[in-house]
A and B are shown apart, each in its own frame.
Chain A
């Protein structure tokens, strides 16, 4: 397996910039996820690693070998495409064996490898079928199988689950994670779905408008987002952003939103003192907002009053859309919580988990 390194990699189509100075390292056997909204450059980055797009600037290394000018077939990579890209005139077996035949592997080894991959992916009974006789999930397995049989240095996945229905996507997500554990392979995976990124990735690269925003583990990405974009992109429902000012009173620091004020924990004061009196954005995740009835550490300093606008019942929990009168926000509550539309509720913010962003630059202060 291999380590993949991107050094200042850029891509331009004429005057249009698709990827700007990407510096990414995917360690050997790592599952790296490129995630971001449409048009952020994640797929272009993956295609540059595959050799399907030429690089405008920078260098790409696979196992210390610079591959800028190496054609895709010589990079020892395998790619799984969004639309599966199974050859419709070939059976599943032929599809999986296609790449091995070219490399002139003995027939016995081809058969052994295809059967092994088919067993891993539970597609043994489909080997004689044509792709059109398979469901979306089965086709996706075949596409993965075609990559596995090659035993490449690096696996590349281009939004492989986006054509599957929600239930199958969850199932395939777990299977791909298991596959990574079993193969101990270097995998680079592109998705626009932050849930896929968080659940599957060992390292996540968040991209926005051609630029890499942050590279971190899922936990770090969730707990320490580098800016407002990453904070809002990771997590579902998204982090709430509340505009306000920082004020000093009662011997502490308070965040004032006009309709409410909450005390900033003392541990954060040092980093925020330079912003005293200035406009800042407080970020608080919906899961860090509690119904006062169930909150363990409720006090006047962390309690706010808001009006319920919409309640989305999800069964085990509910997403409650509220407003302070100035700022709309979402709270994730226990489904047992009895809230109704237009009701005024008292909520407790877990301020130890609050984030603060510079309102101008949108960079994280804490």
Chain B
């Protein structure tokens, strides 16, 4: 195996042994797979390209036939300026960043701690606990939306402090903090971590909390990056829950802001310009952290 030459991607992962490509049948399979992957990429990016095209076209060309768009094509970036002026996008950005940032930070802390406990400390009945956590993934959010709304409306701490969290940031943040899927991902990662790290730290004199914060979290950077990016995008794009628990424009997130623009009957090039603006942070995130995301998804950080 060691002497075999492989086609490799940028991250040095073996895809296809070169010698197999000498075979005509294998070459055909390889090319067919290439075409399927390319087609998948094009189909996936079509809505995105459509959005960009709509945002930069003059209003009169948006619903014009393709031939007319091709012949009269011109770029009109004024829709971005109009969209930005139409609604307090600065505030929406702030709200979205605050909510998504808080949820992601809380999720990572809670999920990683829970997963560490389930993976390494193994409390009594940890397998039952894990099964219960995983079973919550099967429940669609729509079925718990109303109870959750009531829970936020009549929120109480130990039955003493009763608070109505509707129309507050808390209603947007708190329900997202616990995430069974993240716990599952973290646990899978921690299961592969050698116990030697933890035991060495115990012998060195560290307690479980210090081990978690000073050893486990730092060496889990890649998986944390993946979870952070994926969840940030999910929270950033979430629409249904913010729509239910907020009707106060001051705490609208970007998605609600865009919805408001659509409701106002603004032209589609302005709506699409607003959507494009809203996507900038997540696209930048992907561009900057692409390598970490790929490495984290493949769980390969500890392979040397």
- A residues adjacent to B (C-beta < 8 A): 50-52, 71-73, 77-79, 81-85, 87-89, 98-99, 102-103, 132, 146, 150
Contact = CB atoms under 8 A, between A and B. Distances in A.
Contacts of B205: 73, 99, 102-103
B203 A78 contact: yes
Contact of B304 (A87, A132, A150): A132
Contact of B204 (A51, A73, A83, A88): A73
Contacts, number: 56
A81 B215 contact: no
A79 B200 contact: yes
Contacts of B304: 132
A73 B196 contact: no
A158 to B, nearest CB: 9
B123 interface: no
A79 B203 contact: yes
A103 B206 CA distance: 10
Contacts of B210: 102
A102 B200 contact: no
B81 to A, nearest CB: 45
Contact of B221 (A85, A89, A132, A146): A89
21 contacts: A50-B199, A52-B199, A79-B200, A81-B196, A81-B200, A82-B196, A83-B196, A84-B196, A85-B196, A85-B197, A85-B200, A87-B201, A87-B215, A88-B219, A89-B221, A98-B204, A99-B204, A102-B204, A102-B210, A146-B200, A150-B204
B159 interface: no
A51 B200 CA distance: 12
Nearest to A81: B196
A78 to B, nearest CB: 7
Interface of B: 194, 196-197, 199-206, 210, 215, 218-219, 221, 302, 304
A99 B203 CA distance: 9
A73 B302 contact: no
Given A83-B194, A132-B304, A89 B219 contact: yes
Chain A interface, DSSP helix/strand/loop, else mixed: loop
A85 B194 contact: yes
Contacts of A103: 205
Given A52-B199, A73-B204, A84-B196, 7 more contacts: A71-B202, A77-B203, A81-B196, A82-B196, A85-B199, A98-B201, A102-B210
Nearest to B206: A102
B196 A52 contact: no
Contacts of B197: 85, 87
Contacts of B302: 88
B18 to A, nearest CB: 28
A89 B204 contact: no
Nearest to B202: A72
With a 10 A CB-CB cut-off, give which of B194, B205, B302 has the most chain A CB atoms: B205
A137 to B, nearest CB: 15
Nearest to B196: A85
Contacts of A102: 204-206, 210
Contacts of B194: 83, 85
Contacts of A51: 203
Given A81-B196, A87-B197, A88-B302, A73 B219 contact: no
A1 B273 CA distance: 73
A50 B219 contact: no
B200 A73 contact: no
Contacts of B215: 87
Given A72-B202, A73-B204, A89 B218 contact: yes
Contacts of A84: 196
Contact of B219 (A71, A87, A146): A87
